């Protein structure tokens, strides 16, 4: 499984396949295509590029003087292209959510004789609020935003189904966990 840092590295490598770029241009391209909610910090770009350079996945294609430090132009190496191809071909590990915080809160509420139904109701309201925000964003967004929002909405819908199922089983769950 790749860490989020590795996916940033692979994404920057993939962007470099279209041609050599400066770190500034890579950050701008990343933010435009993928950073709608979490743009990269410049330090993150340059530390990632330094690691990719050290690992032989990119090379410095040129250095230009600038108003501040010299500007390096990076190019992907054959090893970098191979690494991106391997990453693209590797499926992401599905997240089974087998130890969810929400489940823990419900069980602890039952164990401490609090109203677990209130916790589920509060969470349901928060999920619905987020779904309204995402639906509005999807309606106003471009295709990339629509796809990103659909992904999040489908996960929230699954969570809502779980909330309903758990609410229907609260008495039984209370019997089991308070034995």
Angle, vertex CA 153, rays to CA 147 and CA 159, nearest 5: 150
What are the C-alpha distances in Å from 77 to residues 3, 6, 26, 56, 139? Answer: 22, 17, 16, 7, 40
**What contacts 79, CB < 8 A, 6 or more positions away?**
56, 57
pLDDT at 98: 63
Tell me the CA distances in angstroms from 99 to 94, 95, 122, one per residue in order. Answer: 14, 11, 20
Rg of the Cα atoms in the chain: 23
- Residue 116, classified by CB atoms within 10 Å of its CB into exposed (0-12), middle (13-18) or buried (19+), is buried
Q: Round to whole Å and give the CA distance between 87 and 132.
A: 34
Angle among Cα 42, 134, 8 to the nearest 5 degrees reads 25
pLDDT score recorded for residue 1? 29
Q: Could you list the mean pLDDT of each consecutive 10-residue stretch along the chain, which spans 179 residues?
A: 60 95 93 84 94 96 79 95 92 74 92 93 96 96 93 95 96 92
């Amino acid at each position: 499984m790749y860490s989020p840092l590795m996916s940033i590295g692979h994404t920057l490598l993939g962007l470099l396949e279209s041609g050599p770029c400066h770190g500034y241009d890579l950050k701008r391209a990343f933010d435009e295509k993928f950073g709608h909610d979490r743009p990269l910090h410049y330090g993150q770009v340059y530390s990632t590029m330094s690691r990719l350079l050290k690992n032989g996945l990119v090379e410095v294609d040129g250095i230009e003087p600038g108003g501040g430090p010299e500007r390096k132009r990076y190019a992907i190496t054959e090893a970098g292209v191979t690494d991106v191809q391997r990453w693209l071909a590797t499926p992401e590990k599905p997240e089974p959510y087998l130890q969810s915080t929400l489940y823990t809160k419900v069980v602890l509420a039952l164990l401490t004789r609090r109203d677990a139904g209130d916790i589920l109701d509060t969470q349901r309201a928060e999920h619905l609020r987020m779904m309204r925000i995402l639906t509005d964003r999807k309606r106003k967004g471009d295709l990339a935003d629509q796809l990103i929002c659909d992904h999040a909405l489908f996960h929230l819908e699954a969570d809502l189904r779980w909330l309903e199922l758990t609410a229907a089983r609260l008495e039984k769950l209370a019997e089991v966990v308070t034995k």
